Amino acid sequence: MKTIILIRHAKSSWEYDVNDHERPLKKRGIKDANLVSKAFKAKSLVPDAIYSSSAKRALLTCEIVMENLKLDTNLLTISKEIYDFGGENVIDFIKNISEENQKVMIFGHNHAFTSICNIFGDKYIDNLPTSGLVVIDFNVNSWSEIGDGKMRFMILPRDLK
């Protein structure tokens, strides 16, 4: 079985005159990422590998989650391929993950993550909000074979407040 844990980056700030790739998190984003990661910790689902978009807001979200889960930084790979808003690059990335990894955590962006949840999951999601987390299981042995998956659970910041 293969499992993906998709986490959309936390709420970012538009207050700074920086390009999209360099946008930091808002205070609310930091709070929400902490809430979601602490709720996820209770699920005792530990990833074999972690992948993050190279965008600052995704990496900062990843750092918060990894710290709260006490995950080894050696698990993290940063990829420009995940800095994708349509989803095609992320799907290609997932289908090429090393087979030794059964459970992977990926930090990225919308609309890509909402699309991926709806392409592979068995429950429709209108919009995966910032800091939203979705776990999808696939009954396959190879990442290249992923198709129809089953959503195990979803954690959204608004449900924790």
pLDDT of residue 126: 96
CATH number, domain of 17, equals: 3.40.50.1240
Structural domain containing residue 115 = 2-160
Burial class (CB in 10 A: 0-12, 13-18, 19+), 78: middle
Q: How many structural domains does the chain have?
A: 1
Contacts of 65 (CB under 8 A, 6+ apart): 7, 33, 36, 37, 40, 71, 105, 107
Report pLDDT digits (tens) over 49-65: 999 999 999 999 999 99
| pLDDT surpasses 90 at 15 | no
pLDDT of residue 14: 87
Average pLDDT of the chain is 96
